[in-house]
Amino acid sequence: MPPDSSHSLQQAKAALRQQVRRALAAMDAHTREAQGRAVCDRIRHSREWTQARCVGLFAPLPDEPDLRPLWQEALVGGKTLVLPRWDSNTGTYVAARIQDPAADLVAGRYGVLEPRPELPIVAWESLDWLAVPGVAFDRRGGRLGRGAGHYDRILAATPAFRCGVAFACQLVEAVPVAEHDLRVDAVVTPSEWIRCFAATAPRR
């Protein structure tokens, strides 16, 4: 990609981040909670979630759908549950298995809950299903992250079914993406389960 095109892409991404973050900031706590519950409900009734044996979830930031109700449901259903944990030695996130959310999580990087350091690591390649946060998504599986690239590296490391999770205001007409940007397989909002059949970017 020519330098000017790359610069234009980054400008477009930055503008979309600002737009969506303004919409997120305007949401009240009741709306966030209600939309988070609706997202969880759509996930738990999906075939991909039901059939998955090893699932990756995350502890939400304030501007992300709260998927914590699915943690215990995954464990009760006999699934292997992993959450990302920051590895300062590699500068990347690893997947660590948890079995008791109340005891197994501590405040980690950025104050976000993550598995305790001594809990076992599970290879990203072992996951069947992965919840993917983002700032914005589109119907073709395009995803706009926060800019650090952490989930881009996770997506490149796993063959799991990638499920983007979003509040209603995070679904946009088109996310500016480069040819190498990885897409998600589905996007779940409070009102829709969107299967991204048009996603053509390589999975790995």
Assign 107 a pLDDT band (cuts: 50, 70, 90): very high
Q: Which residue has the higher pLDDT, 10 or 194?
A: 194
Assign 202 a pLDDT band (cuts: 50, 70, 90): very low
Per the structure, the complete domain to which residue 11 belongs is given by 3-195
The pLDDT score that the predictor gives to residue 10 is 86
> Which CATH number covers residue 22?
3.40.50.10420
- Per the structure, the count of domains in the chain is 1
Assign 178 a pLDDT band (cuts: 50, 70, 90): confident
Mean pLDDT of the chain, nearest integer: 91
In a domain, 45, yes or no: yes
In a domain, 180, yes or no: yes
In a domain, 201, yes or no: no
Per the confidence metrics, is the pTM higher than 0.85? yes
Q: Residue 51 class from Cβ within 10 Å (0-12 exposed, 13-18 middle, 19+ buried)? A: exposed
Backbone angles phi, psi at 164, to 5 degrees: -70, 135
Judged by average pLDDT, the poorest of 42-46, 67-71, 122-126, 181-185 is: 181-185
Alpha helices (H) in the chain, listed in sequence order: 3-25, 29-44, 47-51, 69-76, 101-104, 150-157
Q: Residue 131 class from Cβ within 10 Å (0-12 exposed, 13-18 middle, 19+ buried)? A: buried
